């Protein structure tokens, strides 16, 4: 089965052709980093406008690189949500128009599920039950995946996503955007024990994540020590490198510690770590070490596939198309689309108070 994937949930316009759900025939990504860099984050209206400019040439290039014609595909998979509504609508509108014009089946894909499928191209098949830790600028979730297409949320962030925290701390320190790669680079030259930040935990005992308090702790440290943001063109001081290393260490310990603890209870056969923050070398090393202790394989996407891309959407969509799923042409964007089920009682409990521990 040959599937066209389209992704436009945030600030990447992407299209890909995937065969059989595992072979990436082509993948084209148009990034908007330069557009949003000066604002220190994504500006939704600017993102939507750029998607409108790029969607047609990006899809055409995906077909050209694949060496196939539009009528040769067997279906179209498009990100339905979550994401920015204006951005999502660009990809959805284009996919629906193409599906109608070509008479091809269409499926909507949850963006987070797409990230889980980003590992299928360069790793052995996932063995189930599996764990999937999805960590990006907009999402931080840990799922139990008992079988393909079935998801149970075990932990999620109650406030900032991990990638969002990286960006905000980088902005606070004058390091630029996106913050994750910059903080990771500086952390290599810093002392992770220099600033004794605490790993957050929930007052109700649920194994959720929280990074807003850590961001506040960084702000407080900067204010109390008088640490100045790095000026453009200036070499960061050792104190900034130490702060970056300490911050990154707490984020990684929070993510991997919770994942390892729950994995010891549920005994998955595979651990998937995906999303933009999966590019982080410290997170990869810590997850690999946890996998070795648990005696399970850990699968990461390549760096190209860690950030938003359409190949992962096509891979996830292939499973749906093969199962006979079809979306009508009234398919609409859902900015709060969830993956997995959380009952009302548990969801209410997750809103409880947050305590901190070292």
pLDDT digits (tens, 9 = 90+) for 200-209: 888 888 999 9
Instruction: Give residue 343's pLDDT.
Output: 42
User: Do the Cβ atoms of 339 and 141 come closer than 8 Å?
Assistant: yes
Mean pLDDT of 275-291: 97
> 270 and 137 in one domain?
yes
> 284 and 143 in one domain?
yes
Instruction: Give residue 350's pLDDT.
Output: 43
Q: List pLDDT tens digits, range 296-344.
A: 999 999 988 999 999 999 999 999 999 999 999 999 999 999 997 544 3
Mean pLDDT of 145-153: 94
Distance CA 36, CA 160 (A): 19
> 286 and 168 in one domain?
yes
Distance CA 38, CA 317 (A): 35
Q: Where are the beta strands (DSSP E) in 176-305?
A: 199-202, 270-274, 298-299
Mean pLDDT of 235-256: 97
Q: List pLDDT tens digits, range 45-67.
A: 999 999 999 999 999 999 999 99
Mean pLDDT of 131-153: 94
> 107 and 148 in one domain?
no
Look at the chain and report how many structural domains it folds into: 2
> 93 and 225 in one domain?
no
Is 106 a domain residue? yes
Mean pLDDT of 14-29: 97
Distance CA 332, CA 92 (A): 7
Distances 224 to 174, 218, 243 between C-alpha atoms, Å: 17, 10, 13
In the predicted structure, residue 346 carries a pLDDT above the cut 80 = no
Instruction: Give residue 341's pLDDT.
Output: 57
Domain that holds residue 229: 130-300+343-357
In the predicted structure, residue 129 carries a pLDDT above the cut 50 = yes
Instruction: Give residue 352's pLDDT.
Output: 45
- Name the nearest CA neighbour of 14 among 77, 62, 72: 62
In the predicted structure, residue 353 carries a pLDDT above the cut 90 = no
Burial class (CB in 10 A: 0-12, 13-18, 19+), 218: buried
In the predicted structure, residue 351 carries a pLDDT above the cut 70 = no
For residue 68, give the CATH number of its domain: 3.30.420.40
> 316 and 263 in one domain?
no
> 294 and 203 in one domain?
yes
Global pTM? Answer: 0.90
Upstream peptide bond of 178 is cis (omega within 30 degrees of 0): yes
Q: Would you state the torsion angle of the CA atoms of residues 282, 288, 294, 296, taken in this order, to the nearest 10 degrees?
A: 150
How many percent of the chain have pLDDT more than 90? Answer: 86
> 294 and 210 in one domain?
yes
> 58 and 184 in one domain?
no
């Amino acid at each position: 089965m040959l599937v066209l994937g389209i992704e436009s949930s945030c600030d990447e316009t992407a299209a890909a052709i995937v065969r059989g759900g595992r072979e990436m025939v082509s993948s084209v990504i148009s990034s908007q980093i330069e557009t949003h860099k000066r604002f220190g984050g994504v500006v939704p209206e600017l993102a939507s406008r750029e998607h409108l400019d790029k969607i047609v040439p990006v899809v055409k290039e995906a077909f050209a690189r694949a060496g196939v014609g539009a009528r040769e595909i067997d279906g179209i998979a498009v990100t339905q949500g979550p994401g920015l509504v204006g951005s999502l609508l660009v990809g959805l509108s284009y996919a629906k128009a193409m599906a109608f014009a070509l008479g091809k089946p269409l499926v909507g894909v949850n963006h987070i599920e797409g990230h889980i499928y980003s590992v299928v191209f360069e790793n052995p098949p996932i063995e189930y039950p599996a764990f999937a830790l999805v960590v990006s600028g907009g999402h931080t979730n840990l799922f139990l995946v008992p079988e393909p297409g079935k998801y149970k949320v075990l932990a999620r962030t109650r406030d900032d996503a991990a990638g969002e925290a990286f960006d905000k701390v980088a902005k606070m320190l004058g390091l630029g955007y996106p913050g994750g790669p910059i903080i990771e680079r500086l952390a290599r030259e810093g002392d992770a024990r220099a600033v004794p930040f605490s790993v957050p935990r929930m007052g109700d005992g649920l194994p959720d994540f929280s990074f807003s308090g850590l961001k506040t702790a960084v702000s407080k440290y900067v204010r109390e020590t008088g640490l100045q943001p790095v000026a453009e063109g200036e070499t960061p001081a050792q104190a900034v490198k130490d702060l970056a290393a300490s911050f990154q260490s707490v984020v990684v310990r929070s993510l991997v510690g919770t994942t390892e603890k729950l994995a010891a209870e549920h005994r998955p056969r595979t651990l998937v770590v995906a999303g933009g923050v999966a590019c982080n070398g410290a997170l990869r090393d810590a997850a690999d070490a946890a996998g070795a202790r648990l005696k399970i394989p850990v699968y990461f996407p390549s760096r190209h596939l860690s950030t938003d891309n359409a190949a992962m959407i096509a891979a996830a969509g292939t499973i749906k198309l093969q199962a006979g799923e079809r979306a009508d042409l009234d398919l609409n964007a859902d900015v709060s689309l969830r993956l997995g089920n959380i009952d009302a009682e548990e969801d209410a409990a997750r809103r409880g108070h947050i305590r901190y521990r070292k």
